[in-house]
Structure 1
Amino acid sequence: MLIHADADAFLASVEQRDHPALRGCPVVVGPQVVACASYEARALGVHAGMPLRHALRRWPGLRVAEFRGEAYEAASAALMSLFTDVTPLVEPGSMEEAFLDVSALDGGSVEEAGRIAADLRARARRELGLPVSAGVARAKLFAKLASRRAKPDGLLVVDAETEARVRPRLPVADLWGVGAATSGRLHDAGIVHVADLAGWSVETLVERRVTTAMAKNLVAIRDGQDDATIRLPGPRRSVSSQRSLGRATRQRSVIRDALRDNLLRALDRLGDDPRAPTRLDVHVRFDDGHTFVASGPLGERERDPATLVRKALAALERTAYEDDGRGVAMVGVSLALPPAPRAARP
């Protein structure tokens, strides 16, 4: 049995937790574009990706919280630690959600999995101050759909009987990984719900310009054999850090200082990892939401902070941010890492 646990309105919930005056208020996390809206703000019609100035013009009572990357990363680490305290079989999906395999705990029944999920939610609220919604099912698709339906701050358990009843009625457009283009091609073929996949094979779906991987996934979902495998995260492939500048600016010293801080923070996140970065990417997001990335390879064993800061600042200059005309709203850095060495066989 799987649990899909997902913190509600994560960034906004962290702000409401850390700032009691924001609790119960419509809150958005900015600065230029709404990165996250609390459920109070969503009830008004605010959504992520909306230009902040438009949202404030329409709903002047919105409370705006500054984007605090470090606070969200700390909350995410605490949340993942809580998940792994429940079971070591955890597959993170993003910084605020994960699948947990609890099949080996307390008999592995759907009832026990529901109890474990309820306890997990209570602990998240009590220990972390965060609302977490959860869905329980035997496979990932229905666990994810259940947690989505349970929001905000709820729990939904899907037993075998419910799954069998609901599965044929699922719209294919709602299935995991089915985008607008694929959905359109399926609809053109008369496939609107999972039940409509009856009689289709992987080969005939591919003829409709559906990728082979997607065709196999659709057939598996139709047959009730969809993915229930937890994939444990391997060694990380990169470390990164970004910082919102609050108010968009082209001031050279502010942007360079922020980039320097991000580079040193990313290096700090390497910790005891012996691998040296192989590529440096500098990210600059402008006040219109567009992002420019300047990249460059690094020499072997390049871990010297001063050298990396110098190269990051050189990459920043290649973005021509000072001459662009737009203000810089966010600056960040990422360091690509080589594959981890394989463990020696005994």
Structure 2
Amino acid sequence: MVLLHADADAFFASVEQRDDPSLRGRPMVVAHEVVACPSYEARALGIHAGMPLRQVRRRWPQVLVTGYRSEAYEEASARLFEIFRRFTPLVEPGSVEEAFLDVTGRDRGDPRGLAVALRAAARAEVGLPVSVGVGRTKLMAKLASRRAKPDGLIVVDAELEARARPRLRLDELWGVGPTTYEKLHAAGLFVVSDLHGLDEDDLKPIVTTAMARRLVSIARGTDDATVRLPGPRRSVSATRSFAATRTRSKVVAVLDECVDRAVTRVLGLDGPPRLPNRLEVLVRYDDGAQALRRGPLEAPTLDPAVLRTAAGHLLEQTAYEDDGRGVSMVGITLPLPAPA
């Protein structure tokens, strides 16, 4: 198997720097009250996604700020994926700017050369830097692309994998979060080589059955190498983070904006429009807690006015105004029926 993990660097910020030459090489952020994406120049200062914009302005007044332009990012994403599919039809999206590509048999024995060509096409045709990792499994390809950033390429061949895999820290593994790692740490497991000789039954008292199975496969080098083609979208979502508030007009205005963005995304899908008959509203508070409310629509529709009204009713059900915590994010999800 030869897999690529292609990931556009600092995607939102790179699009802004592409479109505005005055931003290039300078610390800048894409933000709307909170940072959505810092450029690498801004990251070098210590700025990260989710940081309140007022904090950035106070501490780093030299940092440039641009707003969030969803249409520009969606257009850049579509063009990136056109390039990915030119190299192979076996493309599994991870997000709007990253994907796994199965290029087995298409690389003509030169995976580095193919990855170089893909990166050059993305730079020439979309104007964006794309880091690429090449590996035998998804894990190795993704770790390689992460190490290659920014704007780099790393190929993990069989020899390098044999040396690197046993030394991988468990908290580096894709899908191992802080809580899982704490449990593994407490059990004296720190790197992949510590898993050698263990089976699923040994790990089930420590982690979930699915995680135990995954860790054993990683230790044995038999982890996931299957690129799965996406089926029809089952839902479309839109969210936005902002400085924590309980002000009704602010929260409602942001939710209405999310509704409009979600409708635009549904209409942009291939094929005839699929009309949702229910919707979900998500509220996240400033302490990280979330409230999710679901409800049916009177009739399937993509009428923004109808959806805004229905979303507003679900928002009221969260009782966020009386909660005492500030709201820091709202979003909407439109579950979609299967294509006819």
Provide the TM-score with structure 2 as the length reference: 0.87
| Distance in 1 separating the partners of 2:203 and 2:71 | 45
Equivalent residues in 2 for 1:77-226 (5 A)?
77-107=78-108, 109=109, 112-207=110-205, 209-226=206-223
Deviations 1:275-307 (A, max 9, x none): 431322345678998876553212454455654
Letter in 2 for 1:217: R
**SS of the residue 2:51 aligns to:** coil
Asked whether the 8 Å contact 1:259–1:313 carries over to 2, the reply is: no
**SS of the residue 1:136 aligns to:** strand
- Assess, with a 3 A threshold, how the Cα gap between structure 1 residues 326 and 126 changes in structure 2: closer, same or farther: farther
Matched with 1:36 is 37
Segment drifting more, 229-238 vs 251-260: 251-260
- Assess, with a 3 A threshold, how the Cα gap between structure 1 residues 271 and 288 changes in structure 2: closer, same or farther: farther
Asked whether the 8 Å contact 1:5–1:97 carries over to 2, the reply is: yes
Asked whether the 8 Å contact 1:6–1:97 carries over to 2, the reply is: yes
Segment drifting more, 320-329 vs 69-78: 320-329
Segment drifting more, 35-44 vs 313-322: 313-322
| Distance in 1 separating the partners of 2:260 and 2:43 | 33
Segment drifting more, 216-225 vs 301-310: 301-310
Matched with 1:336 is 335
Matched with 2:275 is 276
1:173: Cα distance to partner? 1.2
| Distance in 2 separating the partners of 1:256 and 1:39 | 30
Provide the TM-score with structure 1 as the length reference: 0.85
**SS of the residue 1:80 aligns to:** helix
Asked whether the 8 Å contact 1:135–1:143 carries over to 2, the reply is: yes
Asked whether the 8 Å contact 1:250–1:327 carries over to 2, the reply is: no
| Distance in 1 separating the partners of 2:285 and 2:222 | 45
Matched with 1:228 is 225
Paired residues in the alignment total: 337
User: Please, what is the CA RMSD of the aligned residues?
Assistant: 3.0
Letter in 2 for 1:233: P
**SS of the residue 1:30 aligns to:** strand
Where structure 2 has 5 or more consecutive residues not aligned to the other structure, the ranges are none
1:339: Cα distance to partner? 4.2
Asked whether the 8 Å contact 1:2–1:101 carries over to 2, the reply is: yes
1:115: Cα distance to partner? 0.9
Deviations 1:237-262 (A, max 9, x none): 11234568999885589558636633
**SS of the residue 1:35 aligns to:** strand
| Distance in 1 separating the partners of 2:258 and 2:222 | 47
1:175: Cα distance to partner? 0.8
1:98: Cα distance to partner? 0.4
- Assess, with a 3 A threshold, how the Cα gap between structure 1 residues 148 and 256 changes in structure 2: closer, same or farther: closer
| Distance in 1 separating the partners of 2:170 and 2:288 | 31
- Assess, with a 3 A threshold, how the Cα gap between structure 1 residues 297 and 158 changes in structure 2: closer, same or farther: same
- Assess, with a 3 A threshold, how the Cα gap between structure 1 residues 264 and 147 changes in structure 2: closer, same or farther: closer
- Assess, with a 3 A threshold, how the Cα gap between structure 1 residues 66 and 293 changes in structure 2: closer, same or farther: farther
Letter in 1 for 2:94: G
- Assess, with a 3 A threshold, how the Cα gap between structure 1 residues 259 and 236 changes in structure 2: closer, same or farther: closer
| Distance in 1 separating the partners of 2:290 and 2:178 | 24
**SS of the residue 2:179 aligns to:** helix
Identity in percent: 59
Matched with 1:344 is none
Letter in 2 for 1:164: A
| Distance in 1 separating the partners of 2:311 and 2:63 | 37
Asked whether the 8 Å contact 1:241–1:265 carries over to 2, the reply is: no
| Distance in 2 separating the partners of 1:331 and 1:202 | 39
